[in-house]
Structure 1
């Protein structure tokens, strides 16, 4: 399994929580430890999107894939 698939697996675990609030996340790319995602639905326009991105998605990826992920960016 490559890193993209590993990241997708973690995001799939988080997806129900985002969807519960009317949002979603799409994995765009993983390159040199930088994960690029697009927040969709309510998450795309929510004022807490940065918090969701950094404290939710990024934190989960850093915990689940230690040493493989540097940062999560919204594109």
Structure 2
């Protein structure tokens, strides 16, 4: 799978998760996918929420690991 294909698959998964983030006043922005590492910026309420690490790891990362081949980690960028 090319980097472009992987980037597009990550975007598709994030689009499925986005309604849950928006419901809580947050969102996320896909910054980059490199060597299986997804770099995301959490926006709105998610950016400053104490539970953002749980959202990132237990929610977003888990979904991406399950649905996009080659993803190994999700990192938050600021």
CA offset digits 1:39-74 (Å, max 9, x no partner): 0000000000000000000000011124x1000000
**SS of equivalent to 1:2:** helix
Q: Is the 8 A contact 2:37 2:74 kept in 1?
A: yes
Instruction: Name which of 65, 70, 73 aligns with 1:71.
Output: 73
Q: TM-score, normalised by structure 1?
A: 0.95
Q: TM-score, normalised by structure 2?
A: 0.92
SS in 2 for 1:28: strand
In the TM superposition, 1:1-75 aligns within 5 A as: 2-66=5-69, 68-75=70-77
**Runs of 4+ deviating beyond 6 Å:** none
Unaligned runs of 5+ in 2: none
Alpha-carbon distance in structure 1 between the residues aligned to 2:67 and 2:31: 19
